[in-house]
Amino acid sequence: MTRYPALLALIAGAVAACGFAPLDLWPLLLVGLIVLLALVQEAPTIKSALWRGWAFGVGHFTVNNNWFQHAFDFQDKMPPVLGYFAAVGLALYLAVFPMAAAGVAWRASGRLRGRQPDAAYVLIFGAAWIATEYLRARLFTGYAWDPVSVAWLPVIGVARMSAFVGTYALSGLTVVLAGAIWLALRRHWHLAAVMVPATGLAALSAPLTRAPEPAADAPLVRVVQPNVSQDQRGQSDGPLLLQRLTQLSGRPGPRPRLIVWPEGVVRDMIEDGYPDWAYFGFNYAPPFWTRRQIARVLGPRDTALVGGTALLFSPDRARVSSATNSVFAIDPAARITGRYDKAHLVPYGEYLPMPWLLKPLGLARLVPGDMDFTPGPGPRNLRVPGFGPVGVQLCYEIIFSGQVVDEAHHPRLLFNPSNDAWFGRWGPPQHLAQARMRAIEEGLPIIRATPTGISAIIAADGRLIATVPHETAGAAEAPLPAALPPTPFSRIGNMMALAIAAGLAAIGVAFRRRGR
């Protein structure tokens, strides 16, 4: 195919990354995958197949995660230029997963030199892709950013298939679709005769899978975006930031309102009951005063969900031992009626892995401060009068398919406060896209608040009902979107993805044996 297959694979991976937000050129994803399938199929050895799969991954993840560099712009302990090396270093690791998929497909399809490409190879590649995307979301705390299927959001009917099969399975089926097109270009029509019409029907089914409109008297949700960048959030800025948030929170009306504020903007402590010395250095206002400022914007049936920090103490309460990244529910009487603690923490953001090794090397977390956060117990709901159980997924937690709701107590909606001010211009639209996929998978509306954008109210079918653009101060308000009945994926979870991977692999093996 080329004298420089690894270089072509690298370019193909970069081209495939253009299929994701913010560019949303989804046909380029299929082009990149077709090139990858062809290059791996033509590899003369397993080592060559692995090398080509890895090169594809390096190109893909370097482009797709270029926003990772911007996190270093706010870290005093490490130079910003280190962010460029970190983005590439992350890609070198993430590329192991497409490399593994390529190696499995090359080996398991039983390739013999000179054999023509066939449906068995494509199906096994799709199965391997599902397995490796799933593993990427699990190993070493997981990094589930931008699975392949997220690129289908501009073709919302196809993206909504994740309600049945899940994100990772839809990614594998996308690889099979690319392979079917590749085989059709080589005049092997059998797989294309199934995959292309099925994808077309899915794309045209968007009106049939649309969530119902909310009731005329539905309560309101209001998402506040203050447009406060990361470098505008010093400790002394607390009162000014609180004033900006309250000004954008609107006025009470006849219907109940759920007002949601983003992660990382409220600087003052919200909880009472700490030792007096604990407040110094953390805030400049008593917690009750802070809550009163929040409660001033609430009507008698309103509730505010506010991102903040809770402190944990040593047994003798003589020192702060840790903290939690939390969301507090505050009622019109300025009382805290519930708290959620983030469970899936961000490595290098909220804690430093292996500090015994990394600190002597001069490495630190990418956020100010030396104190690591403590994880919460996992998905939990906050009971909000007039709205029912509200699930919370703080920032990064929303990207993990099948891990976002309390399975024993299904919520009415999900709240996803985030701090995307670290993420440059590519990160926020990618983060929003993944929140939309969770809405589709779970059949739940999602309300998403960030300091600088993109904040949004997302319907249970993944549509954007209202948004506040990136780097814009404002608020989005709408009637609470209707939830859908529990989806097949919400009932089965990622066992569905693994079952589809096993099915694709079994069919591929059967095809190969029949052809011998």
Q: DSSP string covering 93-111, please?
A: HHTHHHHHHHHHHHHHTT-
At 188 the pLDDT is 87
pLDDT over 80 (residue 3): yes
C-alpha distances out from residue 221 to 239, 358, 387, 466, 483, Å:
24, 43, 10, 11, 14
Q: Mean pLDDT over all residues of the chain? A: 89
C-alpha closest to that of 442 among 483, 472, 476: 483
At 95 the pLDDT is 97
Q: What is the DSSP letter of 280?
A: T
Instruction: For the chain, give every domain's residue range.
Output: 5-209+494-515, 220-483
User: Quick one: average pLDDT of 29-36?
Assistant: 98
Query: Which two structure tokens, joined as six digits, stand for 356?
Result: 């015994």
Question: For residue 346, what pLDDT band results from cuts at 50, 70 and 90?
Answer: confident
At 115 the pLDDT is 60
At 230 the pLDDT is 73
At 113 the pLDDT is 44
User: Quick one: average pLDDT of 355-371?
Assistant: 51
At 70 the pLDDT is 76
What percentage of residues in the chain have a pLDDT greater than 70? 89
C-alpha distances out from residue 197 to 154, 191, 203, 204, 483, Å:
18, 10, 10, 10, 30
Please give the span between the terminal C-alpha atoms of the chain, in angstroms, as a whole number: 26
* pLDDT tens digit sequence for 70-128: 776 666 555 666 667 878 988 999 999 999 999 999 998 765 444 678 899 999 999 99
Query: Which two structure tokens, joined as six digits, stand for 173?
Result: 């089926």
Coil vs helix vs strand at 161 = coil
What dotted CATH number matches 220-483? 3.60.110.10
pLDDT over 80 (residue 326): yes
At 331 the pLDDT is 97
* pLDDT tens digit sequence for 411-462: 999 999 999 888 888 999 999 999 999 999 999 999 999 999 899 999 999 9
At 281 the pLDDT is 55
Higher pLDDT, 364 or 271: 271
At 353 the pLDDT is 57
